[in-house]
Chains A and B, each alone.
Chain A
Amino acid sequence: MNGNIIIYIAVMAITTYLIRMLPLVLIRNEITNKYIKSFLYYVPFVTLAVMVFPAILYETDSIYSAIIGFVFAIVFAFFGNNLITVSLIACASVFLAELIIV
């Protein structure tokens, strides 16, 4: 490592902050265009779906325990459990599955 670590950290922090901050600060008015508005409405669903699958399959020690966690999370979310419950159930089901299969 030759560079100054403080400068490295500052460079990445500023870059990342600008990406997050500029759209939020610059787009202050309510967008009235029906299509842009709808586009932004669908963004969270698509982004989160893309981030979850297939990445979740490789997040644990075994693809099978990951599948079990994935299915349990979907079922419990479907029946309206809150974020923390679904999250913990996913973890617990992976943990239990790995006790058996790994």
Chain B
Amino acid sequence: MKSNSLFIKGVKDGIPIFLGYLAVSFTFGISAVANGISTQSAVFMSALNFTSAGQFAAISVITKSLSYFELAITQFIINLRYCLMSSALSQKFESKMPKIHRFLISFGNTDEVFGVLSSFDGKLPPVYCYGVLLGGLPGWVIGTLLGAVLGNVLPHRLLSALGVALYGMFIAIIVPPARKNKFIAVIILIAMICSAVFSYMPILKSISSGFRIIILTVIISAFAAVIRPIEDKKEENGNER
């Protein structure tokens, strides 16, 4: 595929991210301003972080005037899952690709961008990644600005409905490979059941969602790798959409 059309494909795949981000960051913008953070600061924070749970936690750390160190620790714990995602993504790039692309693309490696990029069939061309980033990420900043400036102006029903946009996208990423590959389907089912157990069981439910994601991802992916290691290139086709 030509680089132009790859870029456009990336932007298109970024649109659901854009819409989903609009809804979530709108709420973030409202919450930031309600807690005494200025509109500029909220927008600035969104444009530099792109981390939903991390930013909501930051609002509470900042309004409580906790130390910079405490803020760093909070972010580290909540966002450590990106370390796993970036490791997985590292294998989707050509090893000879100029390093600068890795520095730039990693800036926008959010949960949603990671989901879209990892479902790309074959090695990732940087131009496609930039399409996804430019198609999706602005939604996060624009939504923050709108929420901060306009406040509760969007109909509540609309926000509630848009709340599932990102989940719908995640489902569209994992279901087609699961349809082609029964083992992946089983792994996804196990992951969801374990996630529910960790969310509802006493003691286990006290584990933060960031750690729950890390613990379950490591254990279940390791389990899958031992039971069904990928033998050759062919099996990776489970990834195509």
Contacts and interface: CB of A to CB of B under 8 A. Distances in A.
Contact of B161 (A2, A16, A38, A92): A92
Interface in A16-57: 16-17, 19-25, 27-31, 34-56
Contacts of A2: 65
Contact of B212 (A11, A19, A45, A50): A50
Interface string A55-98: 11001110001100110011011101111111111111011001
Contacts of B48: 9-10, 13
A2 B67 CA distance: 10
B191 A50 contact: yes
Nearest to A99: B157
Nearest to B12: A84
Interface string B18-44: 011000000000000000111001001
B58 interface: yes
A4 B103 CA distance: 27
B192 A3 contact: no
A81 to B, nearest CB: 7
B234 interface: no
Nearest to A62: B160
A47 B115 CA distance: 9
Contact of A16 (B75, B90, B217): B75
Contacts of A12: 45, 49, 54-55, 58, 71-72, 75
Contact of B230 (A13, A37, A84): A37
B109 A20 contact: yes
Contact of B95 (A22, A29, A53): A29
A74 B169 CA distance: 10
Given A15-B72, A21-B86, A60-B163, 7 more contacts: A19-B79, A24-B109, A43-B217, A73-B171, A86-B168, A90-B167, A94-B161
10 smallest CB-CB distances across A and B, nearest first, come from A90-B168, A86-B172, A77-B175, A38-B225, A49-B191, A95-B161, A23-B86, A87-B16, A87-B168, A44-B118
